[in-house]
Structure 1
């Protein structure tokens, strides 16, 4: 690819999306419904979600470098052995961050289990689902109410 063609490419960004981070935060939203919860796990959950998101971003960057969609170590879109090594290094960093975030999630879960019993945790996790499962009034119930 010539320099002119490279200049025509749109610039790439380091952050590709925050979808994984948002999904993890949604998955842990139930913690706020625990009785007596005061927000003490919020920062830990956010940190864990950010680590996981960073791992995803590193994997995407590695993939883009390996496929010539993002400049590699030599600053071009040409794929070289140096780019392959850089991509491998990024993938290794991503793996470490994933392992770290899973460890953090486990520590948070253990801490929560030590403070609340299974029933309280189950009710907090079911939170929104209980509302959805509520049975609508049947016609027969409605007739009894009107009498």
Structure 2
């Protein structure tokens, strides 16, 4: 594996969102795009760019639900950014100004990226919101 690769190959039989390896792979697959790389231009360079920093996401652990004590953690902010970007796969967004970037559009709305988002969303929601009363009892029986 090269330094730039963030995905680990594996075979899985459990496709539930309680499968940490599957969901981690989905989050990493979603983030594994030049659209998500961090650079000096942030959002000005590409309309579809979301700076999720996949090289850092690879080292974050979303397997244990967030607690109120960790609300201001880097993991919490990263999970929020990723979840926000994942939710965008269901909305067609077109730039109002500037040049049309066909390759960026195709990358943003790729089927494999949307599939990864739909596996990763409930996993990140569990991580982020499990401490809230409506989610708390539901999450406790999954652990």
TM-score, reference length from structure 1: 0.31
Q: With CA pairs under 8 Å and 6+ residues apart, which has the higher RCO, 1 or 2?
A: 2
Flag the structure with larger Rg: 1
TM-score, reference length from structure 2: 0.32
